[in-house]
Structure 1
Amino acid sequence: MFVSDYAATASSVYTQALSIISSVEPRISDAIGAELADQRASLKLIASENYASLATLLTMGNWLSDKYAEGTIGHRFYAGCRNVDTVESVAAEHARELFGAEYAYVQPHSGIDANLVAYWAILNKRIEAPALERLGAKNVNDLTEADWEELRRTFNEQRVMGMSLDAGGHLTHGFRHNISGKMFSQHSYGTDPETGLIDYDQLLADAREFKPLILVAGYSAYPRRVNFAKMRAIADEVGATLFVDMAHFAGLVAGKVFTGEENPVGYADVVASTTHKSLRGPRGGFLLSTAEYAPFIDKGCPMVLGGPLSHVMAAKAVAFAEARTADFQAYAQQVADNAQTLAEGLLRRGVRLVTGGTDNHLVLLDVESSFELTGRQAESALLDAGVVTNRNSIPRDPNGAWYTSGIRVGTPALTARGFGAAEFDRVAELIANVLANTTPVTASTGKPGKAKYTLADGVADRTKAASAEMLAANPLYPGLEL
C-alpha cells in the first residue's frame, strides 16, 4: 500500500534526520528507530491506529512548527501568518471537498480537543447567543455580573446524551470521569441486551424523557454502522443538536464505504473527527459543520484551543489530499472487507463476537464467555505473541472498565500494509489459538485473578513465526532503510 518511487530519497532523508537528532540526544533517535522496527515486526490490530504515508510524516518536520498563529484565517493575533493562512486554507478546502461539508475547521490538536470545541460551539450558539441578544449585549464583556452569573449557571444546566462506554461509546460522550460528564447533566443510551445493536425506538423514548440539548452519535467500539437519518429524526423531535463523533470511521466516510443514511455529513449539525485512525493521517482532529455553526466553531481558539500546530495542519492537508484519490477509496473498501473476513474467521473458530459480527472496521471479541479470560489477560497474552490489540469493555461488562471482558481489534493498519482476505483469516486463526492456549491464574487469595495468566509453551514463538512470514510479504514502508 505504501510502495512509492521516492523510498530511496526518503531513506536518505530519514537517515540524515536521525543522525542530526542523535548528535543532540541519541536516546531519542534510538527510540524513533526502535519504534519503526517494532511496528514492522508486529501485527498491529489496534482499531484506532494506522500508518501515515511518508509524505504525511515528512510534512510535520519543518519550521511551520515555530510559528504562533492563534485566531482564524486572515484574522490572527500574531503578525506574519500568511503562510499559515495558506496551509490552513488548503487543509480546510480538502476537508470540505472530501466530505461534502459546508464548513471545515482543522485546528484541533486531537479528537478530544475537537469534541470540546464542538460542545462549546453548540453551547455558545444555543445558549450564549440568544442570551446576549435578549440582553442587548454584543459579547459577554457587556454583561453585568448578575447576568454573567446567570449565563454561567445556564451553561451548567445543559444536558448531553451519548452512547455509554460499555456499549461502545467514547469517554468524551458524557463519561462521568471525563470533562464531558462534568460539563453537562449526562444520560447514556446503551444497546439491546440480546443483539448488542442500537435500539432506536428505545433511544427515542429515552431522549423524550431526558430532553438533551445535544444528542451525540458515533462510537469507539461499536462494530456496526449507525443510521444517522434516524438519529437526526430523534434529535429533531426533542429539539437537540445532533453532534456526530466519527473519529473511528472517518476513513470509511471519506472512502465512500459509508454513504446515504450511514454518512453523518448532511444529517449532523456538527461532526468531529481525528485524522490518524482510519483516515491514515497525522495525529490530530478536525470539525465539519453546517454554515450556521461556522462562526461559533471558529472561536475554538481562544475558547478551548491554544495556538494551532501549523506543521500538523500542513500534514492534515496532505492526508486529506491523499484521501481524495481512487486509491484511498479502494483502501477503505478493503478495510471493511477485511473486517468481515476477520470476524467470520473468528466466529468459525468458536469466538463469541459482540453483535455477532461487524460491518465497519472493527471487531469486538467477548473473551470472558469464549475463553474465561479478562480483557487484560487476553491483551497481554496476545502481546506476548506479537499481536498488538487493546482490551475493551463489552455491554454490561462484569469485569469493569479496567480489566474488561473484551478485546477490540481493527483492520485499518494491516490493510495499509497490503493484508487481504487470506492474511486476515490467518490472523483470526492465530488470535483464536493464542487465546485458547491462555489460562487465567488464580490469585493468592484463592479468588480468580483478573490480570495474571499463563500461555502454553511454544505458542508465542509459533505465532511470531507465522506473523513474521505475513509481515515480510507485506513490508511496512518498503524500500525505506535506516
Structure 2
Amino acid sequence: MTYETVRQIDPAVASALTSERERQNETLAMIASENHVSQAVMEAQSSELTNNYAEGYPGGRYYGGCEYADDVEQLAIERAKELWGAEHVNVQPHSGSQANMAVLMSVLDPGDTILSLDLMHGGHLSHGHPANAAGKLYDVVQYEVDSETGRLDYAGLDELARDVEPDLVISGFSAYPREVDWEAIQESADSVGAYHLADIAHITGLVAAGEHPSPVGIADFVTGSTHKTIRSGRGGLIMCREEYADDVDAAVFPGIQGGPLMHNVAGKAVGFGEALDPEFDAYAAQVVKNAEALAETFELRGLSLVSGGTDTHLVLADLRPSHPETAGKDVEAALEEAGIVLNANTVPGESRSAFNPSGIRVGTPALTTRGFEEAEMRQVGNLIADVVDAPNDDDVIEGVSAQVDELTDAYPLYD
C-alpha cells in the first residue's frame, strides 16, 4: 500500500501513514495487545462499507441499502459462532471496552455491585476503575492475585463474593500471564446469584485455537477484542446464551452505539475466516511457545516474573528485585529507541505510580505473526535484558538496534 491517492489529496496524512508503515516494518512490536493483520483484513476494512449507515441488525435495519452489509455481518456472526461455539454473537461493538459496557447495561442498574480484578493486579479499566464509566455508574469491589504467587486467589475471590454479594462478577485480564479457571469463578458467581462476565480480550485467538480454556458455555457473557491474538478487524464482540441475546443486542444498539462500523465488521469477518483455517491453530500454539521461550530467557537473565512464568501470550516482569532503581518507563523508552516496542506496566504490590510503574509487559502475538519462533524469541529476550541492565548506555542501545535491524530485514512484514 503506497497511499498515492491520499498523497495527491492530503500529503501530510499520506506522509504520516507512510511513516507508520515504515515504523511497523522496522521495529519489533511487543505490546501484548497489538498484532499485524493480513493484507486481506486491511483491504476489507478500507472497503466501500465505510460509506454505509446500517443501524440495527441483519434483516432489521433502519436504513435501506444494507443488503450486502447484512451479508457481511451475518458472515462475521456465523464464523464467530463456529470459532468459539457460542449460541449468540454480537459483532458490532467498536471495542472490547464497549462490549463490556453493553453487557453491564444489559443486566445491571446504576448502583449495582461489580466484583472484578484490580487494575494493579492485571485487571482492566473497563472492569470498574473509578476513571471509567463502569466505575462511575456501579459500586465496584475488587479482588487481587495472591501476593506471594502472583496467581489468582480463587478461594479469596469466593470468600469476597460471599461477603459482598455482587450482582455481577468479572473475570479476565489485561496483564495476567496465567490460565484462568472460569469454572471456579462461575461457581463463586452462582453461589451468590450473580451474573458472570468473562473478558477474553487478550486471549480471544488463544481460546479460538484451544490454547487456553474457553469460558463460552460456562460464563453468562463472554466479551473479547477482535484485533489482538485473533488478527481480525479492530473492535469487539459479545457472546452469550440465547436467553440474553435480545437484552445484549439492545444494549449495543441503541444503548451505547448508533450505526456500526461496517468496514470494521468486514475486517472481522475476513479475520474470523482466516482463524478457521488450521494454520491459525499452529500460529496460536507458536504464540504460547514463544512466550514461554521469552519467559525462560528473562529468568536466565535474572529478571523476576510475575507468577513465575506464563501460560499465555504475555510475560510480565517485575523490575524491583533485580533493578530496584529502574522504572518501567525508563526501560520502555530505551527499548523504543533501540527498535523494540513494549509497555511499562503495573505489577502486584506496585510501589510506584501507575504512570511510571515497576514492571514491563511483553507480548508475542505480533512477532509470531512475523514468523519468529523460539530461537528468535530467545535472541529478542536477551536484547531486552541487555537494555534493562543498561537503559542509559548509548553503546548498548546502538548494539541492540543493529540486531533489531537484522531481524526485521530477515522477517519482513508488509511488502
Report the TM-score range of the alignment, normalised by the length of the smaller protein. over 0.9
Deviations 1:387-411 (A, max 9, x none): 1010110012000211111100000
| Maintained 8 Å contact 1:367/1:378 | no
Distance 1:177 1:113 in 2: 15
Deviations 1:156-194 (A, max 9, x none): 220001100011000011111111111110000001110
Amino acid at match of 2:307: T
Aligned structure 1 segments of 4 or more residues deviating by more than 6 angstroms: none
Distance 1:292 1:462 in 2: 58
Q: Which residue of 1 aligns with 2:5?
A: 20
Q: Which residue of 1 aligns with 2:388?
A: 435
Is 1:83 the counterpart of 2:68 in the alignment?
yes
Gaps of 5+ in 2: none
Is 1:457 the counterpart of 2:394 in the alignment?
yes
What pairs with 1:159-198 in structure 2 (closer than 5 Å)? 159-198=113-152
| Maintained 8 Å contact 2:201/2:226 | yes
Deviations 1:408-451 (A, max 9, x none): 0000000000000100101111011111012xxxxxxxxxxxxx
| Maintained 8 Å contact 2:231/2:271 | yes
Amino acid at match of 1:341: A
Q: Which residue of 2 aligns with 1:255?
A: 209
1:407 partner SS: strand
Distance 1:360 1:61 in 2: 31
2:121 partner SS: coil
1:316 partner SS: helix
For residue 386 of structure 1, report the CA deviation from its aligned partner: 1.2
Q: Which residue of 2 aligns with 1:284?
A: 235
Is 1:60 the counterpart of 2:14 in the alignment?
no
| Maintained 8 Å contact 2:113/2:140 | yes
| Maintained 8 Å contact 1:368/1:375 | no
Distance 2:154 2:185 in 1: 8
Deviations 1:58-84 (A, max 9, x none): 001121111111111111111221211
Q: Which residue of 1 aligns with 2:294?
A: 342
2:207 partner SS: helix
Gaps of 5+ in 1: 1-13, 124-154, 439-454
| Maintained 8 Å contact 1:382/1:431 | yes
Is 1:472 the counterpart of 2:389 in the alignment?
no
What pairs with 1:207-286 in structure 2 (closer than 5 Å)? 207-258=161-212, 262-286=213-237
What pairs with 1:307-346 in structure 2 (closer than 5 Å)? 307-346=259-298
Identity of matched residues, %? 43
Amino acid at match of 2:403: A
For residue 457 of structure 1, report the CA deviation from its aligned partner: 2.8
Is 1:377 the counterpart of 2:330 in the alignment?
yes
- Flag the structure with larger Rg: 1
Query: Which moved further from structure 2: 315-324 or 377-386?
Result: 377-386
Is 1:423 the counterpart of 2:360 in the alignment?
no
Computed over aligned residues only, the root mean square deviation of the Cα atoms, in angstroms, reads 0.9
| Maintained 8 Å contact 2:370/2:413 | yes
Deviations 1:289-309 (A, max 9, x none): 111111111111110111101
Amino acid at match of 1:45: M
Q: Which residue of 2 aligns with 1:139?
A: none
1:195 partner SS: coil
Q: What is the TM-score of this pair, normalised by structure 1? A: 0.84
Q: Which residue of 2 aligns with 1:452?
A: none
Query: Which moved further from structure 2: 373-382 or 166-175?
Result: 373-382
Q: What is the TM-score of this pair, normalised by structure 2? A: 0.98
Distance 1:349 1:231 in 2: 35
| Maintained 8 Å contact 2:54/2:260 | yes
For residue 369 of structure 1, report the CA deviation from its aligned partner: 2.5
Distance 1:471 1:157 in 2: 50
2:320 partner SS: helix
Is 1:403 the counterpart of 2:326 in the alignment?
no
2:142 partner SS: strand
| Maintained 8 Å contact 1:354/1:394 | yes
2:402 partner SS: helix
For residue 281 of structure 1, report the CA deviation from its aligned partner: 1.4
For residue 370 of structure 1, report the CA deviation from its aligned partner: 2.0
Deviations 1:193-213 (A, max 9, x none): 100111111100000011111
For residue 368 of structure 1, report the CA deviation from its aligned partner: 2.5
Amino acid at match of 2:339: G
| Maintained 8 Å contact 2:30/2:363 | yes
Is 1:102 the counterpart of 2:84 in the alignment?
no
Q: Which residue of 2 aligns with 1:151?
A: none
Amino acid at match of 1:214: L
Distance 1:337 1:424 in 2: 9
Distance 2:25 2:369 in 1: 12
Q: Which residue of 2 aligns with 1:298?
A: 249
Distance 1:306 1:181 in 2: 23
Distance 2:335 2:256 in 1: 39
Distance 1:78 1:412 in 2: 38
| Maintained 8 Å contact 1:157/1:184 | yes
1:368 partner SS: coil
| Maintained 8 Å contact 2:103/2:248 | yes
| Maintained 8 Å contact 1:386/1:460 | no
Q: Which residue of 1 aligns with 2:366?
A: 413
